Every structure is written in structure tokens, then in C-alpha cells.
Amino acid sequence: MIMKEILFNNTIKKILALLIIVAGIFYTGITRKVHIPEFAHYYFGAKYAPEIGYTGLYEALSKALTEIYNQYFFIHNIYAVRNLHDIGYITSETALNNFHSQRWDSQRWKDFLADARFIDKSMLANPQKVPIQHWSKILIDHGYNVSPIYTAYVYPIANLLPLNSTNITILFWLDIILILLTFFLLWRMRGLYSLAIAVLFFASAQDMLTYCTWALLRFDWFFALALAFYFIHRRKYFIGGIFWAIAGVIRLFPMYMAGFFTILLLLLYKENKRIELKKISNFVIGIFSGAIGSVALSSLALYLYGMSPINVWHGFLHRIGNHSAETGILNAIGLAKIFELVGLSQPIIAQLILGILLSTLLAIALLKSELKPENLAIMTIFFIPIFLYLSHYYYLMLIFPAIIKHKPVRYTISVLIITNIIFTILLKLGLTSNQIINPECGIYSAILIIFPIVLLYWNKLKHTDLIEK
């Protein structure tokens, strides 16, 4: 019997290892295309931040395209350009008139033009299409809206690696390294079986086949959050708080999760003293230290690069405000998506009341689940759909709950993996991402919002000894 169990476990491990390898090959490019437009936003935005800030990217690209082609050709093929100063559109002629040539010296403009030419050639997948039309979607996108933290560390990397076929491959692989390091931390925390579930969830998400493909360090916040969970798992709450703050300063919403985690720790401490008050204070101090330290260090770096940190941060906050106004609840998961799909517009009061109710239910359910603090930290991800509505891409962080050995969580992640696979197949069969995103987000919303109720019911069954603990 023991020998059979050992053989069975070894077989399972081999199957899981094979699945991880297949998922890795599938993700890293064997069957995939590079998403040049997404990469271009991040590369140009960081490398040329002193010249374009958060509002001048499309104006500079418009000017570059008149030199790559000619002004007449540009104006008569590009009909609209997004105005990054607000949330509207302007004509291509207006974009050219708004270009600030005095911000550029001759060498920097030559570098920008060379990079733009490389991107232009990289997008010529369809020779029958007018080449400049490849830029039409880029110029009406949402611009560069990443945190100054990102600019501070990507600026020297991008300037060190001007665009060519070799350097762009190096830049693509930086994200892969972050993802591999994240999975390494998950393996160290929970082992091979949990890692395999996380990898399957990650690799099956249809975002991995569309605009997140081979981007430029898009998973920095992802890795920082993994480090936070890892150090909390190791009971090093101060360091965990630092990395949680870094993830929050990069992408904002992890700070929302940190608030819920702190509240859960305080409730847990008050309820049964299973956690020392010192650990809670260390975590909070770590958050403040990480936030202040990362902002200060990035501001110093920006100053050394010749930028005004105050202007950069002001530009970022202004741009992110406009970006939120532009996107609204499109491509969203959560309570807002449910309201949107049933035809209700901006139900702020109803959303607030239901959000408070669901958050309370989830907090009670988590406290009754007898989870360890490191698992509570990870479970705060489930608070996000209740109040915040984010791009589907950010829900890749559900790979973290995937490692928790808790049946309701495992069942939830398994259903989401099946959802991912179904919509990935639909994507491969010819449906576009735009056709898929609304129904997929609706299913995600329903599953994640129902989760607190399911968890409460599960706890009730557990305490009546109807199921195994």
C-alpha cells in the first residue's frame, strides 16, 4: 500500500512538472506574437520621460512619423490622436502643432527617431496594409500612465539598450525573469502541487495571449507582491510591509489590500491573541517605510536624470486621474461589472452598501476559517472585486490564492482555470479579445463576489462536522 502511494505521488509530480514545462513553453513565445504597441508605450514613456513627461508621447510620435514618411501622408492617414492633456481626441494636425521641439536636443531626437523607425518596421506584419496605419491604434490609446517608480528604474535600462533585434529580445526577457522568480517564491512557500495550480491559472489566462505578451517589465508589482507574501510567510512582517508598499506605490491597489490585511490582523489579535501586536505594528511600519523610501529614492533618481520630481509626480497623478475617467468600468471585474451587465449606470450608493455588506461577510468568513496570517494576507485579494474595478490583467494575482491549501479557494481557482481555458479556446477559434472580455469578466465577477457567501457556508459545514477540516 505504501509503495503504491509513493508511486502514485511520483506520477502526479511528473505530470505536474510536465504541465509546468508545457505552460512555460506556451507562455514564452513558441506559439505567440510580440505585442509591439504595448511595448512601445512603456519603452518610449520611460526612456524619453524628460522630454515627453506624461502628456507628450503622441505628439512626439506624430512628429517622428512625419519624418519617417512625410507630413502630408501622415495627416491624410491618421485622422485622430488622443489628447493626453485631458480625455478627448485631437486631429493629427493639432498634435503636430502641440509638439514642443525646444524640449529636445539634436542627439535625443535622433535617438527617438531611430527607435520609432525600429518600432515601425517591427509592426509591418501585413505588407498590403498602408504602413502608417499600424500607428493609428497606438495614437488613440491611453498613453504612458505608469508610476514614477517605474520610470526611475526603467529609464537607465532603456537608455542603455537602444532598440534593435538583440536588445528588444533582452528587454522582453526581463519580464520572464520576474515571472520565473515569482513562481520560485511560490514553490518555496507551498511546494510543487500548489505551484502547478498557480502556473496553470497564469498560463491559461487569455490576457497572456493578447496585450500582456512580451511587455517591458509589466510584472514588477507582481514580483513585489510575491516578495511581500513570501516574507510574511517567513514571519518577517516589517520586510513584508516594505515590499507590499512598493507594489502599492507601483500600481496603487495593493495598498487597499494592505489596509484590509491590517484590519484582519487586529481583529485576529483581539479575538484570540494568536498574533503578537508587535508583528502588526512591524507590518504597518514596514508599509510606511516602504512607501516613503521608494518615493524618496525614485524622486532622487529622477532628479539625477535631470527631471523635476514634483512635476513628474504631479503629471502622473493628473494622468492617472484622466486615465480612470477614460476607461470607466470597461474591462472590469467586480461589483461594478455586475451592475454594468444588467444595465445599471453608476449605482454608487447601491455599490457602497453592497460592498460594505460583502466585505463584512468576507472578513467574518476569513476570521472563522482559522487561516494563518500569511494566508490571510493572500486572501485580501478577494476584497478587490467588491469595491475596486480593475483591468482583467491585474487578476493574474489570483495565482497567489491558488497556492493556499484550502478547499473553497482551490475550488474557486479551479473554476476560474476552466473559465480561462474556455475563453482561450474561443480566442483561438477566431473571437476577438473585445468580444470575449465582457462575458468573461461577468463570469469572473459572479464567482469572486459569491466567494464570501460560499466561504461562510463552508465554515458552517465544517463546524457541524459534516465535512473534514
The confidence band for 7, taking pLDDT boundaries of 50, 70 and 90, is: low
- Asked if pLDDT for residue 432 goes beyond 60, the answer is yes
For residue 78, being part of any structural domain is answered with: no
For residue 331, being part of any structural domain is answered with: yes
Give the per-residue pLDDT at 385.
86
- Asked if pLDDT for residue 452 goes beyond 50, the answer is yes
Please say whether the beta carbons of 453 and 361 come within 8 A: yes
Span 110-120, mean pLDDT?
93
Please provide the distance, in angstroms rounded to a whole number, between the alpha carbons at the two ends of the chain: 24
Give the per-residue pLDDT at 88.
84
Least confident of 137-141, 150-154, 160-164: 137-141
Q: pLDDT, tens digit, for every residue of 314-333?
A: 999 888 877 766 655 444 67
Span 163-167, mean pLDDT?
90
What lies within 8 Å, CB to CB, of 19 at 6+ separation is 196, 199, 200
Is residue 343 left, alpha or beta, with left meaning phi > 0 and alpha meaning psi from -120 to 50?
A: left
The confidence band for 2, taking pLDDT boundaries of 50, 70 and 90, is: low
Q: pLDDT, tens digit, for every residue of 223-241?
A: 999 999 999 999 999 999 9
The one-letter amino acid code at 351 reads Q
Q: pLDDT, tens digit, for every residue of 60-92?
A: 999 999 988 888 778 878 888 998 888 788 988
Please say whether the beta carbons of 363 and 247 come within 8 A: no
For residue 223, being part of any structural domain is answered with: yes
- Asked if pLDDT for residue 464 goes beyond 70, the answer is no
Span 342-353, mean pLDDT?
70
Give the per-residue pLDDT at 212.
55
**Residue percentage of the chain with pLDDT more than 90:** 36
- Asked if pLDDT for residue 435 goes beyond 80, the answer is no
Q: pLDDT, tens digit, for every residue of 182-209?
A: 999 999 998 888 888 888 888 887 665 5
User: 25-41 burial, b for 16+ CB within 10 Å, e for fewer?
Assistant: eebbeeeeebebbbbbb
**131 or 108: which carries more pLDDT confidence?**
108
Considering the chain, what is the average pLDDT of its residues? 83
CA dist 272 and 265 (Å) reads 11
The confidence band for 154, taking pLDDT boundaries of 50, 70 and 90, is: very high
Angle, helices 165-190 vs 148-160, to 10°: value is 130
Please say whether the beta carbons of 182 and 222 come within 8 A: yes
Least confident of 67-81, 290-304, 431-445: 431-445
C-alpha angle 314-319-325 in degrees, rounded to nearest 5: 135
- Asked if pLDDT for residue 251 goes beyond 80, the answer is yes
- Asked if pLDDT for residue 309 goes beyond 90, the answer is yes
- Asked if pLDDT for residue 466 goes beyond 60, the answer is no
For residue 256, which of 359, 179, 186 has the smallest C-alpha distance?
359
Please say whether the beta carbons of 69 and 134 come within 8 A: no
Span 428-437, mean pLDDT?
74
Cα 291 to Cα 149, 280, 376: the distances in Å are: 11, 17, 22
The confidence band for 281, taking pLDDT boundaries of 50, 70 and 90, is: very high
CA dist 358 and 111 (Å) reads 52
**Residue percentage of the chain with pLDDT more than 70:** 83
**167 or 210: which carries more pLDDT confidence?**
167
Place of cell 462575458: 439
The confidence band for 413, taking pLDDT boundaries of 50, 70 and 90, is: very high
Cα 237 to Cα 249, 270, 281, 372: the distances in Å are: 18, 18, 9, 13
CA dist 45 and 31 (Å) reads 28
Give the per-residue pLDDT at 308.
95
Domain limits for position 308:
170-463
For residue 67, being part of any structural domain is answered with: no
Helix (H, G, I), strand (E, B) or coil at 370: coil
Give the per-residue pLDDT at 437.
76
The confidence band for 131, taking pLDDT boundaries of 50, 70 and 90, is: low
Q: pLDDT, tens digit, for every residue of 31-66?
A: 455 678 888 999 999 999 999 999 999 999 999 999
- Asked if pLDDT for residue 211 goes beyond 70, the answer is no
**What does the H/E/C string look like for 174-231?**
HHHHHHHHHHHHHHHHHCHHHHHHHHHHHHHCHHHHCCCCCCCCCCHHHHHHHHHHHH
The confidence band for 222, taking pLDDT boundaries of 50, 70 and 90, is: very high
Please say whether the beta carbons of 382 and 448 come within 8 A: yes
Please say whether the beta carbons of 150 and 45 come within 8 A: no
- Asked if pLDDT for residue 300 goes beyond 70, the answer is yes
For residue 377, which of 238, 225, 229, 226 has the smallest C-alpha distance?
229
Give the per-residue pLDDT at 20.
65
For residue 28, being part of any structural domain is answered with: no
CB-CB neighbours of 238 under 10 Å: 17
- Asked if pLDDT for residue 384 goes beyond 70, the answer is yes
- Asked if pLDDT for residue 431 goes beyond 80, the answer is no
Is residue 345 left, alpha or beta, with left meaning phi > 0 and alpha meaning psi from -120 to 50?
A: beta
Give the per-residue pLDDT at 318.
86
Please say whether the beta carbons of 43 and 163 come within 8 A: yes
Task: Give how many domains the chain has, as a whole number.
Answer: 1
